[in-house]
């Protein structure tokens, strides 16, 4: 086929693609971005201090981002809005905590494995019930399951009520790879294990959404009836994707518990955590694979750290989300290509900037006009 490495012939054009796995490749720009991303992820514990960011907080953001990547499988492909993904994040976290606190499992990786199994089991059970529902009913059903779990944990002595469980066995943190670590060493080993697994999971998700199964999910998202006509077992496929999506959430929750060493119901299981996971996916860009990850980092940072910068940190986060809704509906990562193209145009032709300013002024004038009309309609009943 192609003689020069990395060059493919498609529709008479030669496209440079970096093959990653069979049949899948990246454009050179994407390949460079992926490399930069991987370097950033691996260097994060060392870089973050230099620019004044807290590495542990970024780590937590990455974890919620992983859950959002899982949720995005449902949101992007089957077009189902899950409002209950904290159920899996929480079962992962509580899986670790219960195994450590009640069964004295002291190996971190074993705890993580148990957490993923428990969370996946929960996803299988919930998915069985919700797979046949769409739209608002799907969202509300997942929300209800999530809240039942939250309320049960919150009021049950086995999970130690509101105070939550410690992930410590006789006062010690779990071992990783069979070894005891210092605080910093433990966090670093946990971080790098997570990053390696994260890369594997992202690759797996990428393979999955480009496989025939992923295409079938797209078909289900676009029109369930037609998907059924062409022989796709809709409910079963939704159930499977729901389970996979729950697996990502459970993994993230398990690592979260290992990092925090203390699991409480409100930061892991509450319904607003579900909402946050959903909004991370949109904030980062739910039309992309890595967008939810970026969204997770940004939103967790905003929600946790903004309180140290401004008094009204809720409003700051709210304004960022408003900006996303009105100006960047594709999210941060999803908007990058169009922003890049627009900037390139401007550099090419500086006269466009003046037109932009004129456009903004016109838009503001229109908004004021509309507001005046609205007020007139409300006050006088006629325009």
Partner 1 sequence: MIESFVTHTLNGLYYGFILFMIAAGLTIIFGVLGILNLAHGELYALGAFLVFSVVGFATGLVASPTGTVSAIVFGIVVLAASLAAAAILLPVGAVVESVFVRPIYERDEVYQLLLTYALLLIFIDVMKFGWGQTPVDPGVYGTLNRIPTTELVGFGYPSYNVIVMLVGLAVFGWLVWFFDRSKTGRIVRATAINRDMATAIGVSTDRTFTLVFAMGAFFAGFGGAMVSIGPGTAFLEMGLDPLVLSFVIIVIGGLGSLKGAFVGALIVGVISRWAIWLYPPVELAAPFAVMLIILLFKPEGLYGTWGEIE
Among 36, 319, 361, 364, binds partner 1 (CB under 8 A): 319
Q: Does 128 bind partner 1 (CB under 8 A)?
A: no
For the segment 148-207, give every residue that binds partner 1 (CB under 8 A). Answer: 148, 150-152, 154-156
Q: Are 295 and 284 in contact (CB under 8 A)?
A: yes
Helix (H) or strand (E) run with residue 298 in it = helix 291-309
Q: Which is nearer to partner 1, 206 or 313 (CB)?
A: 313
Q: Does 278 bind partner 1 (CB under 8 A)?
A: yes
Measure the CA–CA gap between 6 and 19, rounded to whole angstroms: 7
Q: Which is nearer to partner 1, 222 or 374 (CB)?
A: 374
DSSP string of 223-267? -HHHHHHTT--HHHHHHHHHHHHHHHHHHHHHHHHHHHSEE-HHH
The residue among 133, 39, 157, 153 whose CA lies nearest residue 86 is 153
Site map (CB under 8 A) of partner 1, residues 66-105, x = contact: ---------x-----x-x----------------------
Q: Does 271 bind partner 1 (CB under 8 A)?
A: yes
Residue 165 has which token pair?
């469980």
Q: Does 137 bind partner 1 (CB under 8 A)?
A: yes
Options 49-57, 86-94, 198-206, 271-279: segment touching partner 1 (CB under 8 A): 271-279
Q: Does 282 bind partner 1 (CB under 8 A)?
A: yes
Q: Which is nearer to partner 1, 174 or 267 (CB)?
A: 267
Q: Which is nearer to partner 1, 9 or 163 (CB)?
A: 163
Kindly provide the residue ranges of all beta strands, DSSP E only, lying in the chain, ordered along the sequence. Answer: 7-10, 13-16, 18-21, 24-26, 165-166, 262-263
Q: Does 147 bind partner 1 (CB under 8 A)?
A: yes
Q: Which is nearer to partner 1, 38 or 136 (CB)?
A: 136
For residue 85, CA distances in Å to 126, 174, 251 come to 11, 26, 12
Among 59, 239, 242, 279, binds partner 1 (CB under 8 A): 279
Measure the CA–CA gap between 149 and 130, rounded to whole angstroms: 15
- Sequence-ordered list of residues with C-beta below 8 angstroms from that of 232, at least 6 positions apart, any chain: 216, 219, 220
In angstroms, the first-to-last Cα distance of the chain is 68
Give residues in contact with partner 1 (CB under 8 A). 75, 81, 83, 129, 133, 135-137, 139-141, 143-145, 147-148, 150-152, 154-156, 271-272, 275, 278-279, 282-283, 286, 311-315, 317-322, 324-326, 329, 371, 374, 377-378, 381
């Amino acid at each position: 086929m192609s003689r020069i490495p990395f060059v493919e012939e498609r529709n008479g054009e030669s496209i440079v693609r970096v093959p990653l796995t069979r049949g899948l490749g990246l454009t050179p720009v994407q390949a460079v971005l992926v490399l930069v991303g991987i370097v950033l992820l691996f260097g994060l514990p060392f870089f973050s201090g230099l620019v004044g960011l807290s590495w542990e907080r970024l780590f937590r953001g990455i974890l919620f981002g992983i859950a959002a990547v899982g949720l995005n499988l449902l949101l992007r492909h089957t077009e189902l809005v899950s409002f209950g993904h904290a159920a899996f994040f929480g079962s992962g976290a509580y899986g670790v905590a219960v195994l450590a606190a009640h069964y004295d499992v002291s190996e971190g990786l074993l705890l993580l494995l148990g957490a993923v199994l428990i969370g996946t089991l929960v996803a299988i059970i919930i998915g069985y019930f919700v797979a046949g529902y769409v739209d608002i009913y799907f969202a509300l059903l997942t929300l209800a399951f999530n809240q039942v779990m939250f309320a049960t944990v919150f009021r049950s002595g086995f999970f130690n009520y509101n105070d939550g469980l410690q992930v410590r066995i006789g006062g010690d943190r779990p071992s990783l790879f069979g070894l005891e670590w210092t605080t910093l060493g433990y966090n670093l080993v946990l971080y790098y294990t997570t990053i390696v697994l994260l890369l594997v999971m992202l690759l797996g998700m990428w393979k999955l959404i480009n496989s025939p199964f992923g295409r079938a999910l797209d078909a289900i998202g676009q029109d369930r009836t037609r998907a059924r006509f062409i022989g796709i077992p809709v409910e079963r496929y939704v159930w499977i994707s729901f389970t996979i999506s729950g697996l990502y959430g459970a993994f993230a929750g398990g690592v979260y518990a290992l990092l925090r060493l203390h699991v409480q119901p409100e930061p892991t299981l509450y319904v607003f955590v579900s909402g946050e996971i959903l909004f991370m996916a949109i904030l980062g860009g739910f039309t992309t694979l890595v967008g939810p990850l970026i969204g997770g980092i940004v939103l967790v940072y905003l929600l946790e750290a903004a309180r140290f910068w401004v008094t009204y940190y809720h409003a700051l986060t709210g304004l960022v989300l408003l900006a996303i809704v009105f100006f960047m509906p594709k999210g941060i990562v999803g908007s990058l290509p169009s922003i890049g193209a627009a900037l390139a145009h401007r550099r090419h032709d500086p006269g466009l900037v003046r037109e932009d300013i004129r456009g903004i002024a016109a838009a503001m004038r229109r908004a004021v006009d509309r507001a005046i009309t609205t007020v007139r309609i409300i006050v006088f009943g006629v325009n």
